[in-house]
Amino acid sequence: MIMDVMEIQEIIPHRYPFLLLDRVTDIVPNETLVGFKNVTIGDNIFQGHFPGHPIYPGVMILEGMAQAGGILAFKSMDMTKEEAANKVVYFMSIDKAKFRSPVTPGDRLEYKITVIKQKGAIWVLKGEAFVDDKLVSEAELKAMIVDK
């Protein structure tokens, strides 16, 4: 299943400049999601991080993982669009976060999200971020889907 940015916006509430996922290229419900974000010098974050030495912030990489994880959780649950519109994903914890290489303008961040476990509305996910098949960041994310 491929999802473009318009379909992504039907599932999660994030919008520019905080929508950090451009496309989903593969989803296996209850198992995995693969998606990406194109990092460009036009991203507002580079005005301050860091002038003359642009580095994409690690917290933004983690947020991109979280958004991808939210899409995986929503697509794994048997909900109509109307039901999903009345729900939101709250992240409860981010553990074991590691940043292995800097991400810079021109990079394409590929997110790979894997379900570790799921019980009711609670999801535990492994998030990995790659640039050119090189692992640049990883974390374990815990989230809950709740009513708005």
Domains and CATH numbers, the chain: 5-147 (3.10.129.10)
Whole-model pTM over 0.75: yes
Does an H or E element contain 147, and which? Answer: strand 134-147
Q: Is 133 exposed, middle or buried (0-12, 13-18, 19+ CB in 10 A)?
A: exposed
Whether 49 is a known active-site residue: answer yes
Q: What is the mean pLDDT of residues 120-134?
A: 97
Q: What tens digit of pLDDT does each residue of 98-109 get?
A: 999 999 999 999
Set 49, 87, 126, 142: catalytic member: 49
Q: What tens digit of pLDDT does each residue of 4-36 get?
A: 999 999 889 899 999 999 999 999 999 999 999
What is the pLDDT, as a whole number, of residue 60?
Answer: 97
What is the pLDDT, as a whole number, of residue 78?
Answer: 81
Letter for the amino acid at 125? L
In the beta sheet, which residues pair with residue 147?
87
Q: What is the mean pLDDT of residues 59-77?
A: 96
